[in-house]
Structures are given as C-alpha cells and as structure tokens.
C-alpha cells in the first residue's frame, strides 16, 4: 500500500516540473483514481503536493516526518536500518523491540531500526523517564551480537561514538560523550543511549540499543527536564533534516559495530576516549553501593570507568551515575 504511494512520490521527485495524473497513471500502470488516492496518502504523511487541473501534480516540500522512505533513500549501510518500523507515536521504541524479539527469531531482526515520531513513555537508564516529544530522533536498533556478555557495553560505546560523530559531521557541533551513556554539547545534554539485553549467561539472544537525540525541539518543550538540556535546532538556530541525520548516524554506527564483532575493542575505545568529556575530570560517582570522588583517568575494554581517588587508590566502576565537576 505505502509502497505504491512512494513509487508515485519517486515520479514526482524525479521531475523538475509538474507531472500529469495521466502520465503517472500510464508510467506506473495504475488507474488515475489510484494515483489520486496515493497523492492523498502522501499528503496525509506530510508531503506538500500542489495539484492543478491543467498541469498535474508537483512536489512542493517533502514531509518533515522521519519516514523510513526518507531515511533509507539516504542510507549507506549494509544491514543497519535496511529493515525499519515506523510509529507516529508509541510508548517506547525499546518496548516495541522487546515485543518483536519475543515473538520472532532475533536473528531475523538483526539490524532492524524502530523509529517513533514521539514516545509517550520513553525511559532512560534505571527506569527514569525520558521526555521524547515530536521533533526528536527516538530510535531502537535491534542487534544479535556474537560477543561475550561482559563486553556488551561496547555496543553502547559504538552508539555513543556514532551519535557524537553524526552530530559533528552533519552540523559541525562539538558533541562529547559523558560516561556512561549521555551526549553533550558544551555543558548541556542533547542525547542519550539505553542498552537492554536478553541473554543466556554466555550468549546474547538480542540487544536493544535505544538512542534519543533532541533534534528539532524548542528548549521550551524540554522544560520538564531537570538538568540543562539543548537541541540541535537550538544550537543551529533553525530546524535540520532529521532523515539525513539519522541516515548518517546509522552509517557511523554500523562501522563501529563491525569493530566490536571483529574484536577490535581497542580501536573503538580509543575513539570513544577522543570524544570523552569525562576523562581527565574530577567526578563524583554514585553506584548501587557507594559514593566517592576522584579523577576519571581511563576507560577499560569492558567500558568500565577507572577512577583515581584522592588517596591514590584506583577504583573500577562498571555501573553508576557520574557527576562531572
């Protein structure tokens, strides 16, 4: 159904001027009333299409939704995002991923990207809520990585590097990674990642890498959020092309993910370090069991943060909150 509509769209995109209903109908082998129906469908998805009795249909403006068609048109990956699921609104893209993985073969879902225009029940780490209004990029990448479970944080690291690189390349903004899973521009948070996994003790059945980036969102819409936040549009002074950004993000992610699969943890860790806002800083760490201060001096191949405390003692933190001073 959607496929034919997008074939009509392709005809409009390929033409500089207007295209008559007769031309579309003839070239595609569908009736003129079918053409009209698909044009209506495209308008419903946010495409601005001018229709004149005399000249025919003309594409004025593409949809500003994050439609799979728009993303995949720009996508240069082998498997990440080749399958997509799109939701105008859903509680949480990770929840969709859990359901899909529960129903089917995780191997068939490997690389699938779930996109939502808005999430009504988005969550961050440890069940914290994650405000996800329309205009952001809220996605989940479904993966079945063949890596030991104790290296699973590498997947988050690959995602963090991909988000930071995509922001830098598309918008020339100095995005940084804050351990364990936040993306900052300056001292304001612009995105975050959430990794969930289902595993046997020694084999990962599937991973869900949730990624959220405040893209075309006015700061006012994020007022409920406690910490200092920003968005790409706020930094740039105008809205940006989310589809191009997401296509770039997925491409950056795929190449880093392949580093993990081939065991090149060091290359990925090195890149992560080069974007880190955390290393070299004085930090306060809150873990499930303790709170302490020190200097963040390194990250190891399991994604653990290495802290030198004031008494010189070295602590390895695999899980916790990190407040940078």
Would you tell me which residues interact with its own copies (CB under 8 A)? 98, 102, 125-126, 146, 148-150, 152-153, 156, 180-181, 194-203, 205, 263, 288-289, 302-303, 318-320
Q: Which is nearer to its own copies, 14 or 126 (CB)?
A: 126
Beta carbon nearer to its own copies, 60 or 126:
126
Query: By C-beta, is 2 or 302 nearer to its own copies?
Result: 302
User: What's the min distance (Å) between Cβ of 217 and its own copies?
Assistant: 25
How, if at all, do strands 182-185 and 188-200 pair?
A: antiparallel
Q: Is 183 helix (H, G, I), strand (E, B) or coil?
A: strand
- Which residues lie closer than 8 Å to 84 by C-beta, 6 or more apart? 68, 71, 72, 112, 113, 114, 115
Tell me how far apart the terminal alpha carbons of the chain are, to the nearest angstrom.
54
Residue 198: CB minimum distance to its own copies, A: 5
Q: How far apart are the C-alpha atoms of 133 and 258, rounded to whole Å?
A: 31
Q: Chain centroid to CA 291: how far?
A: 31
Q: DSSP 3-state assignment of 40? A: helix
Q: How far is Cα of residue 90 from the mean position of the Cα atoms in its chain?
A: 15
Quote the least distance from Cβ 183 to its own copies, whole Å. 16
Question: Is the Cβ of residue 41 or residue 324 nearer to its own copies in the bound state?
Answer: 324
Considering beta carbons, is residue 31 or 129 the nearer one to its own copies? Answer: 129
Q: Shortest gap between Cβ of 283 and its own copies (angstroms)?
A: 16
Minimum CB distance to its own copies smaller for 121 or for 148: 148
Nearest to 73 by CA among 13, 33, 23: 13
Q: How far is the CB of 107 from its own copies (least distance, A)?
A: 11
Nearer Cβ to its own copies (44/148): 148
Question: What distances in angstroms separate CA 195 from CA 114, 123, 168, 208, 234, one per listed residue?
Answer: 14, 11, 23, 6, 27
Of 292 and 302, the one with the shorter C-beta distance to its own copies is 302
Q: How many CB atoms lie within 10 A of CB 1?
A: 7
Nearest-angstrom CA–CA distance, 80 and 142: 9
Torsion angle defined by CA atoms of residues 119, 61, 237 and 65, in that order, rounded to the nearest 10 degrees? 10
Q: In angstroms, give the least distance from the CB of 133 to its own copies.
A: 23
Q: Least Å distance between CB 75 and its own copies?
A: 26
Q: How far is the CB of 34 from its own copies (least distance, A)?
A: 42
Strands (E), 149-263: 175-178, 182-185, 188-200, 203-213
Tokens describing residue 43: 């308008």
């Amino acid at each position: 159904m959607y496929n034919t509509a997008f074939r009509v769209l392709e005809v409009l995109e390929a033409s500089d001027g207007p295209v008559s209903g007769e031309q579309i109908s003839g070239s595609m082998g569908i009736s003129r009333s079918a053409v009209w129906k698909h044009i209506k469908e495209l308008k419903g998805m946010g495409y601005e299409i001018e229709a004149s009795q005399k000249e025919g249909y003309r594409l004025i403006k593409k949809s500003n939704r994050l439609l799979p068609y728009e993303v995949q048109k720009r996508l240069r990956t082998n498997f990440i995002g080749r399958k997509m699921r799109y939701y105008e609104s859903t509680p949480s893209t990770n929840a969709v991923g859990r359901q899909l993985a529960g129903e089917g073969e995780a191997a068939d879902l490997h690389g699938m990207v779930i996109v939502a225009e808005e999430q009504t029940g988005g969550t961050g780490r440890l069940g914290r809520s994650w405000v996800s209004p329309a205009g952001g990029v809220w996605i989940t990448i479904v993966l079945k990585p063949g890596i030991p479970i104790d290296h699973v944080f590498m997947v988050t690291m690959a995602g963090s590097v991909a988000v930071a690189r995509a922001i830098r390349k598309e918008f020339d903004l100095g995005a940084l990674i804050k351990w364990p899973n936040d993306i900052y521009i300056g001292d304001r948070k612009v995105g975050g990642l959430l990794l969930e996994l289902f595993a046997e003790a020694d084999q990962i059945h599937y991973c869900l890498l949730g990624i959220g980036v405040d893209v075309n969102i006015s700061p006012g819409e994020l007022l409920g959020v406690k910490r200092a936040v920003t968005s790409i549009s706020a930094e740039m002074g105008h809205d940006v092309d989310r589809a191009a950004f997401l296509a770039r993000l997925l491409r950056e992610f795929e190449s880093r993910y392949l580093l993990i699969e081939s065991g090149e943890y060091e290359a990925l860790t090195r890149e992560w370090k080069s974007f880190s806002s955390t290393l070299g800083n004085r930090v306060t760490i809150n873990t499930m069991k303790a709170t302490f201060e020190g200097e963040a001096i390194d990250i190891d191949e399991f994604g653990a943060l290495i802290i030198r405390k004031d008494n010189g003692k070295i602590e390895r933190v695999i899980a916790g909150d990190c407040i940078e001073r």
